[in-house]
Amino acid sequence: MRLAGAALNQIPFDWHHNLRTIREAIEQAKAASVDLLCLPELCLTGYGCEDLFLSDWLSAAALEYLQQIRSWTDGILVCVGLPVRIDGRTYNTTAVLRDGEILGFAAKQFLANDGVHYEPRFFNSWPAGETTTIKFQDEAWPLGDLIFEHQSVRFGFEICEDAWRPAADRPAGRLMERGVQLIVNPSASHFAMSKTDVRYQLVLQASRKYNCTYLYANLLGNEAGRIIYDGEILVARNGHLLLRNQLLSFKEVDLECVDVDFTVDLPPTDVVPLPAPDEYRELNQALSLALFDYMRKARSRGFVLSLSGGADSCMCAVAVAEMVRLGTAELGTAEFMRRAGCFTAEEIATLVGPVAPVPDHHAPGPKDASLSLLNQEQKSVNQKITSRLLTTAYQGTVNSSDDTFQSAKELAEELGGIFFDWTIDEEVRGYVAKIEHALDRPLTWQTDDLALQNIQARVRAPGIWLLANVQNCLLLTTSNRSEASVGYCTMDGDTAGSISPIAGIDKDFVKKWLRWAEKELGYHALRHVNALQPTAELRPLEDKQTDERDLMPYVLLNRIERLAFYDRLSPRQVLATLVREETTITPEQLKTYVRRFYSLWARNQWKRERYAPAFHLDDYNVDPRSWLRFPILSGGFTQELAAL
């Protein structure tokens, strides 16, 4: 039997788009003589419809649209994910279609309720062993804990989270008792660095443990704004890996197939581990794809960035250039520009000649392209595209240094982005003078340190917003997770913007990634920033302000953050862990850092609530709208910290 999975890049309740990609996948599968095709979880509506899943109309519309898909399934069995609402309860299901008929709906039994997932808010879990009937017009179909048969192969479902539960709970064991040979898993499993390894083990070990064939297909791309899907497709049999695709493709449909002969036994084998994932490369691909999808789905014309020459803004700039490099390498220049949605046919023709009307489904995947050196011609084409998609500005003050200016200017030139440079001292002086006049006293660094820092960061916002508005672009804000944790940012100043691409990753990782990008991606201009200490450059230069002097070493900040909010330890436990781990810092100093972290954390929840939408990239983040909820007003750990 020829099995296929198709990763789809969907958009919440964009029926036209979602049906088009589903149809495209089915057509590709038919052309490849596929017998059974698995599409991702909830691919008909999109996974990220949020509270709309609670409305009657969304599921009703999905069932209507499912009827259109029936006629595309002649000669093939297709699994299509959609919500079904029965008696005011919504179930997360996969419809099984064949030869124009709906055979039934398998329903998800375990709902994802951790990290970025809030499924129990929208869905009800389906009880194991039960079935019901749903009616539509004059037809009725079974729904629930079902098994199916195709070409004499019995198969059943685990829908995403179903497979992440302990062996005693998950459906697989019960499916085996019912004689199933194939488990199909349609998923919407969010990207996080290194997560592919966990998924690989899950699928391979299940195929081994249950002595079965396991077919897994994930969603693809930045579906709804924050969460990225890597489009992983896996097929395993009795511990053998039969198929694993390139992840994080820029294609809308990534179909992969493999033949399995169910009439012949395959002796079980121990699972061969994957090589350790390269997180720098993974992040590069995920960030590039996330930006591309966000830009085109928001119907924007590119990005504007206040480029300080420091680590955070340099990383954001490189990410846009990498979006162009990886996207053109996989899709080809013309198709990349067409999909970006903001280039005219004339612009595309000028850069690449006559536009190819049909995308090439067999173009190499992102892995092939990610680290290969570009020829000079493609490099120059990419720079021209980047000049349309990235506008940057250095906005200096008397506190800015030549080092950061050079870093910003050279990087923008190397990437091909537009670079402007102006100073904001006049505006800062204007505001300060107004307030001095109003208060009838001078503002000084001795009395008004933070306020004088913040006004500089804020004065940078209106100009860069104006530039973004006139160009119809998204303003990138450069905050990282470490800054977000301790509120080391000026609200409505350097937080101003419409997306925060790197707010999910910590500052230490940002610095390491930039060193990797200089060496592996060959961006030589990064040598400047890689030689700099992170600094806000908001105090007079002779003050030698650095982030780590204001706060604490970033590695330590990151460790405290993880212990406190990923491992969920108490302040006392965090301190005890640090004292055990850190041999070069005194316990008294560690106590100061722990106290500083927790008080800044609690005081700055309101800032995290106001960050621009951020991508989920690491195994956790501090965004209250995706991973980590925390009260805005609280006791602030006062007693816990006093007791340390």
Ligand X SMILES: NC(=O)CC[C@H](N)C(=O)O
Ligand Y SMILES: Nc1ncnc2c1ncn2[C@@H]1O[C@H](COP(=O)(O)OP(=O)(O)OP(=O)(O)O)[C@@H](O)[C@H]1O
Ligand Z SMILES: Nc1ncnc2c1ncn2[C@@H]1O[C@H](COP(=O)(O)OP(=O)(O)OC[C@H]2O[C@@H]([n+]3cccc(C(=O)O)c3)[C@H](O)[C@@H]2O)[C@@H](O)[C@H]1O
- Return the CA Rg of the chain: 26
Q: Which is nearer to ligand Y, 14 or 421 (CB)?
A: 421
92 belongs to the binding site for ligand Y (CB under 6 A): no
Span from 185-193, 348-356, 599-607, 634-642 in contact with ligand X (CB under 6 A): 185-193
Helix (H, G, I), strand (E, B) or coil at 82: strand
Count of residues that interact with ligand X, criterion CB under 6 A: 9
Measured CA distances, 115 to 7, 162, 396, 624 (Å): 22, 16, 39, 11
Contact mark string toward ligand Z, 574..613, x via CB under 6 A: -----------------------------x--x-------
Phi first, then psi: what are they for 508, rounded to 5°? -65, -40
635 belongs to the binding site for ligand Z (CB under 6 A): no
Rounded to whole angstroms, how far apart are CA atoms 434 and 175?
73
Q: Which is nearer to ligand Y, 163 or 304 (CB)?
A: 304
Interaction residues for ligand Y, span 539-568 (CB under 6 A) = 547
Q: Give the torsion sign (CA, 531, 537, 542, 547).
A: negative
List the one residue from 394, 509, 513, 554 that touches ligand Y (CB under 6 A).
394
- Hey, what are 530's tokens? 């890689």
420 belongs to the binding site for ligand X (CB under 6 A): no
- Hey, what are 352's tokens? 């690449």
Closest-CB residue for ligand X? 189
- Hey, what are 108's tokens? 């998800």
The least CB distance from residue 46 to ligand Z, in Å, is 34
Span from 107-115, 304-312, 512-520, 574-582 in contact with ligand Y (CB under 6 A): 304-312
Selection from ligand Y, ligand Z, ligand X, none that 160 binds (CB < 5 to 8 A by kind) is: ligand X
Rounded to whole angstroms, how far apart are CA atoms 215 and 11?
24
List the one residue from 217, 257, 489, 552 that touches ligand Z (CB under 6 A).
489
Q: Which is nearer to ligand Z, 453 or 498 (CB)?
A: 453
> Quick one: 384 exposed, middle or buried, by C-beta within 10 A (0-12, 13-18, 19+)?
middle
- Hey, what are 496's tokens? 């101003």
Rounded to whole angstroms, how far apart are CA atoms 298 and 476?
14
Selection from ligand Z, ligand Y, ligand X, none that 189 binds (CB < 5 to 8 A by kind) is: ligand X
The least CB distance from residue 454 to ligand Y, in Å, is 12
Rounded to whole angstroms, how far apart are CA atoms 500 and 543?
29
Helix (H, G, I), strand (E, B) or coil at 631: coil
Asked if 209 is an active-site residue, the reply is no
Rounded to whole angstroms, how far apart are CA atoms 208 and 214?
9
For the chain, count helices (H), then strands (E).
23, 20
547 belongs to the binding site for ligand Z (CB under 6 A): yes
Encoded amino acid at 409, one letter: K
161 belongs to the binding site for ligand X (CB under 6 A): yes
630 belongs to the binding site for ligand Z (CB under 6 A): no
Q: Which residues pair with 4 in a beta bridge?
A: 37, 257
Rounded to whole angstroms, how far apart are CA atoms 398 and 410?
21
117 belongs to the binding site for ligand X (CB under 6 A): yes
Q: Which residue shows structure tokens 């994910």?
A: 81
Residues 6+ apart with CB under 8 A from 440: none
Q: Binding site annotation covers 478?
A: yes
Selection from ligand Z, ligand X, ligand Y, none that 491 binds (CB < 5 to 8 A by kind) is: ligand Z
The least CB distance from residue 53 to ligand X, in Å, is 13
305 belongs to the binding site for ligand Z (CB under 6 A): no
Q: Binding site annotation covers 92?
A: no
Rounded to whole angstroms, how far apart are CA atoms 427 and 406?
23
Measured CA distances, 248 to 217, 282, 480 (Å): 13, 9, 22
Q: Using an 8 Å Cβ cutoff, are 46 and 221 in contact?
A: no
Q: Binding site annotation covers 483?
A: yes
Interaction residues for ligand Z, span 440-459 (CB under 6 A) = 450, 453-454, 457
479 belongs to the binding site for ligand Z (CB under 6 A): no
The least CB distance from residue 503 to ligand Y, in Å, is 12
494 belongs to the binding site for ligand Y (CB under 6 A): yes
Selection from ligand Y, ligand Z, ligand X, none that 190 binds (CB < 5 to 8 A by kind) is: ligand X
The least CB distance from residue 190 to ligand X, in Å, is 6
Asked if 489 is an active-site residue, the reply is no
The least CB distance from residue 611 to ligand Y, in Å, is 13
Strand order from edge to edge, sheet including 213-218: 147-150, 153-157, 182-187, 213-218, 233-237, 240-244
Rounded to whole angstroms, how far apart are CA atoms 214 and 199?
12
491 belongs to the binding site for ligand Z (CB under 6 A): yes
Selection from ligand Y, ligand Z, ligand X, none that 191 binds (CB < 5 to 8 A by kind) is: none
The least CB distance from residue 525 to ligand X, in Å, is 37
Span from 244-252, 391-399, 425-433, 586-594 in contact with ligand Y (CB under 6 A): 391-399
Encoded amino acid at 553, one letter: P
Q: Which residues pair with 190 in a beta bridge?
A: 229
623 belongs to the binding site for ligand Y (CB under 6 A): no
List the one residue from 488, 597, 611, 615 that touches ligand Z (CB under 6 A).
488
Of 180, 244, 179, 181, the residue nearest 218 (C-alpha): 244
Q: Using an 8 Å Cβ cutoff, are 393 and 461 in contact?
A: no
Give me the catalytic one of 49, 79, 108, 507: 108
189 belongs to the binding site for ligand X (CB under 6 A): yes
Q: Which residues pair with 499 in a beta bridge?
A: 476
Of 213, 218, 204, the residue nearest 246 (C-alpha): 218
Q: Using an 8 Å Cβ cutoff, are 72 and 39 in contact?
A: no
Q: Which is nearer to ligand Y, 369 or 393 (CB)?
A: 393
Q: Which is nearer to ligand Y, 121 or 544 (CB)?
A: 544
Asked if 427 is an active-site residue, the reply is no
Of 123, 118, 122, the residue nearest 107 (C-alpha): 123
Span from 52-60, 157-165, 366-374, 478-486 in contact with ligand X (CB under 6 A): 157-165
Give me the catalytic one of 38, 43, 49, 160: 160
| HEC per residue, 247-274 | CCCCCCEEEEEEECCCCCCCCCCCCCCC
482 belongs to the binding site for ligand Z (CB under 6 A): no
213 belongs to the binding site for ligand Y (CB under 6 A): no
Closest-CB residue for ligand Z? 536
The least CB distance from residue 109 to ligand X, in Å, is 11
Of 567, 400, 556, the residue nearest 486 (C-alpha): 556
Helix (H, G, I), strand (E, B) or coil at 446: coil
Selection from ligand Z, ligand X, ligand Y, none that 487 binds (CB < 5 to 8 A by kind) is: ligand Z
Catalytic residue positions? Answer: 41, 108, 160
Which positions make up the binding site for deamido-NAD(+)? 454, 483, 607
Binding site, residues? 189, 195, 454, 478, 483, 607
Binding residues for ligand Y, rule: CB under 6 A, are 306-308, 310-313, 394-396, 400, 460, 478, 494, 534-537, 547
Residues of this chain that bind ligand X (CB under 6 A): 41, 112, 117, 160-161, 164, 188-190
